[in-house]
Amino acid sequence: MECVITIELGTNATRVFVFDLAGNMIGFTKGSYPTFHTQPDYSEQDPEQIFITMLYVLKNLLNEKIYPQGYTVVSIVFSASMHSLLPVDKNGVPLGYAITWADTRGQKEAKELNNSLLGKDIYKATGTPIHPMSPLIKLTWLKNHDKEKFDQTDKFLSIKSYIIQQLTGECVIDYSLASATGLLNIHTLEWEPAALKHAGITADKLPALVPVFYSKFKLRKAYQTSLGLSAKTKILIGSSDGCLAALGAGIWGQKKATITIEDSGAIRIVGKDVLQDDQQRFFNYVLTKDYFISGGPTNNGGVIFEWFATQFGDFKKAFDLEHCMESLINEASKIAVGAEGLLFLPYLLGERAPIWNANARGAYFGLNIKHEQKHFIRATIEGIMYAMYSICKTLLEHREIESLSINGSFATIPFCAQMIADIFNKPVQISKNTDSAGLGAFLLGAIEMGIYKDIDEAAQTVVLTNTYMPNLQNHQIYIRHFAIFERLSTKLFDEFEEISKLQQK
């Protein structure tokens, strides 16, 4: 029997899924690693630890579950978080840790470029919002603040490129992940000269560009031996977690969007054209040369509810955070829609789409003497969803959306799924396979093997279940609260600036 393995190099963990050729998930494992914050705005990870963690969990899964069942691995497909940057020297040895998407050290660099005409042109060409998350901005920061490392660097890699280089010796990046670096022209599929010039590098400092189906790798003999794989096992470079989550979410064809909420969140649509937005509110990433994945990301997803639970949850009865969150949600469901006029701005981590304001902060608004703890719980969840809806509203200016497919651990909690249906006033479906990025990676592998003739056919096979229908009455209540939420988000701009300045001391 044959199987396909997908490896997702995620923000907190590497997740490995195994699929049989019919697309049924037959195995899963994960291994997590820490993010280091040596300065408040730094977020870094150890590339060697990611590599070893990946090897370790993969080897265990193969030996304990997959080989004993008689499976052979036909291909391994990679997926990874976007926007990471790892400088390496001429021997390919990392110069320090990898900088992750969550790193915001380049705020000043981002602001400067954003306010310039050049910034507008680069955004149009590359599809990546000008933001500290973008490798373009990280490079600019390195050039300005760590010239020594910048000069010593032979190649600027992504974490995925590094892992693949360790396994195969090749230095490559797929167009899809490259399109999230702020350096790739998404229309010509070449490195964008204006962006390279701004970053102060030449194209030879970057890995070679290849399509997402690229598989001409040779797994190093040593890893063939340690993992028990044959030389015939194909390695597919794959794409980014965001693009693959869209592929695995069953939204192909028109008028559908997918909402992912884990710690952070995003809403994405698929199209053959990019979304042109003068206010630069969306990303436009490339999946293949025919398809763009567009949408907006939020910093403040499930991580905000986790924060709330950690601070205010009742740990006397609950055994751990998960149980505690469960009982909080239970409490929240006893409160009426709209939390009786208590609003919450969830911008504890600053915000990306649609307000793109790193200095935005959280707030509870509308408190009166009758509000109880339960109202806070409900308001917190509603606030997270309003922020999501505010991204969706900007998308609706460009595209029609008739239904939603949701995934990610937070969005798929039934209480949250129903709330999304009500707030967005759209039917909501959950994909059978809760990890859409893993499924998307499998589909890429299956297309490459010829199981499906193209992306369209593969995407049609995604099974969506559990429809949550919107309740119009609830929608109308939500929408009146949302109107105030939306105004507060922009009205407080000056106060956000001032309070964040105070907090930086």
CB 458 within 8 A of CB 443: yes
Element (H, E) at 203: none
- Which range of residues in 23-31, 194-202, 268-276, 442-450 is near another protein by CB under 8 A? 23-31
CA-nearest of 240, 237, 246 to 213 is 237
Q: Is 338 helix (H, G, I), strand (E, B) or coil?
A: coil
Binding residue for another protein (CB under 8 A) from 208, 321, 396, 469? 321
For the bound state, the minimum distance from the C-beta of residue 319 to another protein, rounded and expressed in Å, comes to 9
Nearer to another protein among residue 278 and residue 320 (C-beta) = 320
The verdict on 48 binding another protein (CB under 8 A) reads yes
Nearer to another protein among residue 53 and residue 405 (C-beta) = 53
The verdict on 67 binding another protein (CB under 8 A) reads no
- Which range of residues in 53-61, 123-131, 170-178, 360-368 is near another protein by CB under 8 A? 53-61
Q: Is 271 helix (H, G, I), strand (E, B) or coil?
A: strand
CB 267 within 8 A of CB 470: no
Nearer to another protein among residue 14 and residue 300 (C-beta) = 14
For the bound state, the minimum distance from the C-beta of residue 201 to another protein, rounded and expressed in Å, comes to 23
Cis peptide preceding 354, ω within 30 of 0: yes
Binding residue for another protein (CB under 8 A) from 34, 40, 193, 414? 34
Nearer to another protein among residue 224 and residue 500 (C-beta) = 224
Q: Could you give the C-alpha distances from 290 to 95, 111, 287, 442, in angstroms and in order?
A: 36, 32, 8, 19
The verdict on 87 binding another protein (CB under 8 A) reads no
- Which range of residues in 52-60, 119-127, 285-293, 326-334 is near another protein by CB under 8 A? 52-60
Binding residue for another protein (CB under 8 A) from 147, 218, 220, 487? 220
φ and ψ at residue 66, rounded to 5 degrees? -85, -50
State both tokens at 497: 């600036």
The verdict on 488 binding another protein (CB under 8 A) reads no
The verdict on 320 binding another protein (CB under 8 A) reads yes
Binding residue for another protein (CB under 8 A) from 53, 79, 300, 433? 53
For the bound state, the minimum distance from the C-beta of residue 49 to another protein, rounded and expressed in Å, comes to 4
The verdict on 108 binding another protein (CB under 8 A) reads no
CA-nearest of 440, 418, 79 to 250 is 440
Nearer to another protein among residue 31 and residue 265 (C-beta) = 31
How would you write 38-83 as a 3-class SS string?
CCCCCCEECHHHHHHHHHHHHHHHHHHHHCCCCCEEEEEEEEECCC
Q: How far apart are CA 388 and CA 14, in angstroms?
A: 26
Binding residue for another protein (CB under 8 A) from 24, 202, 254, 310? 310
CA-nearest of 398, 400, 364, 391 to 380 is 364
The verdict on 49 binding another protein (CB under 8 A) reads yes
For the bound state, the minimum distance from the C-beta of residue 235 to another protein, rounded and expressed in Å, comes to 15
Residue 279 exposed, middle or buried by CB count within 10 Å (0-12, 13-18, 19+): exposed
For the bound state, the minimum distance from the C-beta of residue 196 to another protein, rounded and expressed in Å, comes to 28
For the bound state, the minimum distance from the C-beta of residue 3 to another protein, rounded and expressed in Å, comes to 20
The verdict on 313 binding another protein (CB under 8 A) reads yes
| 119-125 long-range Cβ contacts below 8 angstroms, 24+ apart | 120/280, 121/194, 122/182, 122/192, 122/194, 122/195, 122/198, 123/280, 124/276, 125/185, 125/186, 125/187, 125/192, 125/194, 125/195
In this structure, the number of other CB atoms found within 10 A of the CB of residue 40 comes to: 10
Nearer to another protein among residue 202 and residue 373 (C-beta) = 373
| Sequential DSSP letters for 411-476 | TTSHHHHHHHHHHHTS-EEEESSS-HHHHHHHHHHHHHHTSSSSHHHHHHT--EEEEEPP-HHHHH
CB 440 within 8 A of CB 79: yes
For the bound state, the minimum distance from the C-beta of residue 330 to another protein, rounded and expressed in Å, comes to 18
Q: Is 493 helix (H, G, I), strand (E, B) or coil?
A: helix
Binding residue for another protein (CB under 8 A) from 22, 222, 231, 369? 222
The verdict on 56 binding another protein (CB under 8 A) reads yes
Binding residue for another protein (CB under 8 A) from 10, 23, 27, 31? 31
- Which range of residues in 108-116, 155-163, 305-313, 426-434 is near another protein by CB under 8 A? 305-313
> What residues make contact with another protein under the rule CB under 8 A?
13, 29-32, 34, 46, 48-49, 51-53, 55-57, 59, 91-93, 220-227, 310-311, 313, 315, 320-321, 324
